Amino acid sequence: MSSLRFSRVPAIDTALKLVTLAIAMFAFVFVVMVPLYNVLCDALGINGKTAGQAYTAVPSVIDESREITVQFVAINNDGMPWSFAPDTRMMRVNPGAANGVVFHAMNPTDADMVAQAIPSISPSRAAAYFHKTECFCFDQQPLDGQSGAEMPLQFIVDQDLPGDIHTITLSYTLFDVTDTVTDGLASR
């Protein structure tokens, strides 16, 4: 055999570096992209998600000069049999004031079920200025078969809400999470 003209060692070195790069990119998806997306969305409120925890109300002046229309939308996700609706579709609120609304849920089936409500705010820019001091969406909602519940929501619209926003729509989509909860695999 003739001696190899090229040493294989540098090629294997190059290859190992590239394998490292590939593994790093795979890890990048999990440890950078996903958390970064969540952090950015939380910080900027860019996907209309509201904070997942209760807001601690700080004493503030109520801005009587402004009225904001807040609309409530309740949607059932595909295949969710509950009836789900707010007691009022729309209210006018002053920034800084505490407000309350109650959502009614009813499980018409005979099975015990667990639901999770996912909020979304439109326009999404308003999400950072919409503070919930109490919300049923912070927890999963179990309901026995053929029973109903009142689910309260308390919120404050921030005085710093940009002046061009006059209407905020808060929508809740109700998901059936019974299976994931009973499987013991729920992630939250």
Q: Which of 8, 43, 59, 164 binds another protein (CB under 8 A)?
A: 8
The two beta strands, 167-176 and 98-107, are unpaired
Binding map of another protein across residues 91-120, x = CB under 8 A, - = no contact: -------------------------x-x--
DSSP state of 50: P
Q: Which is closer to another protein, CB of 62 or CB of 80?
A: 80
Nearer to another protein by Cβ, of 107 and 173: the residue is 173
| Residues 64-83: x where in contact with another protein by CB under 8 A, - otherwise, as a string | -------------x------
In sequence order, the 6+-apart residues with CB closer than 8 A to the CB of 49 are 41, 42, 119, 120, 121, 127
Distance in Å, CB of 67 to another protein, minimum: 26
Residue selected from 25, 39, 54, 111 as contacting another protein according to rule CB under 8 A: 25
Under rule CB under 8 A, residue 33 binds another protein: yes
Which of 71, 83, 124, 154 touches another protein by CB under 8 A? 124
**Are the C-beta atoms of residues 113 and 107 closer than 8 Å to each other?**
yes
Under 8 Å between Cβ of 130 and 170: yes
Determine, following the binding rule CB under 8 A, whether residue 46 of this chain makes contact with another protein. Answer: yes
Three-class DSSP category at 95: coil
Residue 15 has, within 13 A of its CA and on its CB side, a CA count of 5
The correct pick among 19, 39, 57, 111 for binding another protein (CB under 8 A) is 19
CB neighbour list of residue 186: distance below 8 Å, 6 or more residues apart? 140, 177, 180
